[in-house]
Structure 1
Amino acid sequence: MEIKTSDSYQKEVLEKYKRNRGGELSTYLLNPTPRLIKQACILLLDKRTSTDDINILNCFFQFRDEESRLKEVKSFDNDRFKPIVNFLKGRTNSTSDENIELISWLIDFKPRPLRQYLKPDNPIFEGDDSKPEIIHELGRLDKKNVDNLERKKEEERKKLGDAKRKKEKKKRRRMLIISISISFGALLLTVLALKYPMNFDGKLPECMTWADSLYVRVSCEKGPFSQFGTTVDSLDQMKLNKMKKVKVDAAYKFFSNTDEPLIWYYKKSNGEIEYFTAPGLHPTNGETLRKITPYIIQTYVPKHMNKKSSFVQ
């Protein structure tokens, strides 16, 4: 009688496979591929569940969680089944212990695993020992059904992935809009703070605008331009009280008792002279006003007014 060894175990498992061509799993094992072997494992996962069989599966798949065995088999790397395919197709003469044990589980070789096979009192069962319930199951859930199930699962995963990506894209768009709004609001507040400084009570001060010949008070909400077509500026009490455009003649008082100028002028491109009662910038074009001089008075100031009253009362 031949002594049982691990080599004879591999030999007898392979002989049974060749003799029965996978038995009830011939649909998957007659011409095995890594994908078909995985599908056969999925089909039998809950059918052959003895303690020895569970140990065989744990040894091969290295399950992390007993409750997620099916999920882990489905996600198992197909390349791990290639050595099994090579062994069954005769491309290699031997294979690893975990591989031969998985084959023995797939074709229902008995006795299995190797430690049971090596016991001298265990007979070796030959022939077709298919279980009727497996045959019935194969009739109901054949290769096509398994493929359909895999395809359906893949479609569900794709839908979930698409939904997740859409949700993330919508979230990013919303955050971008919020960020832009906050930045714009901060910029607007900065501009308003620079243009219209707050009073100590936190209220916006009154504003003013140039109205042809003098500054007048207006609401800051009228900005940036007033009904006069001039810019709305923060209120400057000195300009409001002192800056006026006036008409002058030779009798006008141009200097104070200490010879300080009382009139400043701006010469337009057409040679016309405008006269103002305060220094600074021209109210509409921003040009610097020049202080009056005797030369300007003698050269440009008329001897008398054409009208009885001045332009500004």
Structure 2
Amino acid sequence: MSIALLNSYWDMFIDYKNLVFKDYQQKKLANAIPLNLMYPTSAKIKAECMAACELRFNKKDEKSLKTFFGQYDGKAGCLKAIAKCATDKFKPLANFLKAATADTAIKNIELLAWLIDFRLRPFEFGKKYDANEYEHSIEIPNVTEDLEKYMYWNGDHFEAITCSQNPGNSILVPFDDVKLSGFKKITNPETITLKAKGRVWYAKVKGGIEFFTSEGPHPTDQQLRLKPISDYIIKKYIFSRKALKSL
């Protein structure tokens, strides 16, 4: 590629990048992006990638996604590639969105374009990206947020959150009234008996074990699935500890 052609490429990409970022800002102001992107962190961006892939996996995004996540085969393969991706890899994009850095790599801009469902993605060399034309054609949805559209994990239970609230570093998940009322961490495992089978689930986390009142993914690690409790788990982790305490 000649220097003139390279310069032309970069000029076009800068126009594209500016449109993507402007689209992000406009949608943010209109509350038209997921809460994970309203207050972005590395972990929230990764979680949003999982959600976006699950909801709108599209072949047109294949090149951009493979550039960021590596090779994969189909939607299931893409989800696995995202799950295996180190959380720190999303930090440059998080910093860019929070204005901690002035610029970021092409692959991060394309990832952002995918996450916000930018209409003109992916970047095409030779295509004109005119900000004025795009502004006249863009349609920001008139979003009336349901106050319980999202939830975050608050230590031992889920809490509903509105789009205007800042959940800090908590990861947001779509609102689910069943989980909101019925998914809780069992803070006193000694209350668990052999009758708990079918009503209690567990996960081994950081060398320990946690118990919950419903099935599904772990509330702070969406890639970790909870398992149904068994007689073996109850006897090993509940009864044995009770016996030790009575000595």
**TM-score normalised by structure 1 residue count:** 0.41
SS at match of 1:25: coil
SS at match of 2:118: coil
Contact 2:70 2:81 (8 Å CA) reproduced:
no
Percent identity between matched residues is 26
Aligned length, in residue pairs: 157
* Residue 15 of structure 1, aligned match among 12, 17, 22: 22
* Residue 30 of structure 1, aligned match among 38, 42, 50: 38
Contact 1:25 1:40 (8 Å CA) reproduced:
no
CA distance 1:120–1:15, shift in 2 (3 Å): closer
SS at match of 1:105: helix
Q: 1:182-239 CA deviation, whole Å, 9 max, x = no partner?
A: xxxxxxxxxxxxxxxxxxxxxxxxxxxxxxxxxxxxxxxxxxxxxxxxxxxxxxxxxx
Partner of 2:78: 69
Query: Greater relative contact order: 1 or 2 (C-alpha under 8 angstroms, separation 6 or more)?
Result: 2
Deviation at 1:106, TM superposition (A): 0.8
Deviation at 1:75, TM superposition (A): 2.4
Give runs of aligned pairs for residues 74-113 of structure 1, distance below 5 A: 74-113=83-122
SS at match of 1:92: coil
Partner of 2:66: 58
Partner of 1:154: 224
Give runs of aligned pairs for residues 133-282 of structure 1, distance below 5 A: 139=149, 143-144=172-173, 149-151=217-219, 153-154=223-224, 156=226
Q: Aligned partners of 1:130 and 1:141: how far apart in 2? A: 22
Q: Aligned partners of 2:129 and 2:106: how far apart in 1? A: 22
Deviation at 1:154, TM superposition (A): 2.7
Q: Aligned partners of 1:111 and 1:69: how far apart in 2? A: 22
Deviation at 1:95, TM superposition (A): 1.1
Letter in 2 for 1:25: I
Flag structure 1 segments of 5+ consecutive residues without an equivalent: 167-313
Q: Aligned partners of 1:155 and 1:47: how far apart in 2? A: 19
CA distance 1:150–1:126, shift in 2 (3 Å): farther
Q: Aligned partners of 1:4 and 1:127: how far apart in 2? A: 26
Flag structure 2 segments of 5+ consecutive residues without an equivalent: 1-9, 153-171, 180-215, 237-247
Q: 1:232-280 CA deviation, whole Å, 9 max, x = no partner?
A: xxxxxxxxxxxxxxxxxxxxxxxxxxxxxxxxxxxxxxxxxxxxxxxxx
Deviation at 1:61, TM superposition (A): 0.8
Q: 1:36-86 CA deviation, whole Å, 9 max, x = no partner?
A: 111111111033333321222122111344343212212210000000011
Instruction: Write 1 or 2 for the structure with the bigger share of strand.
Output: 2
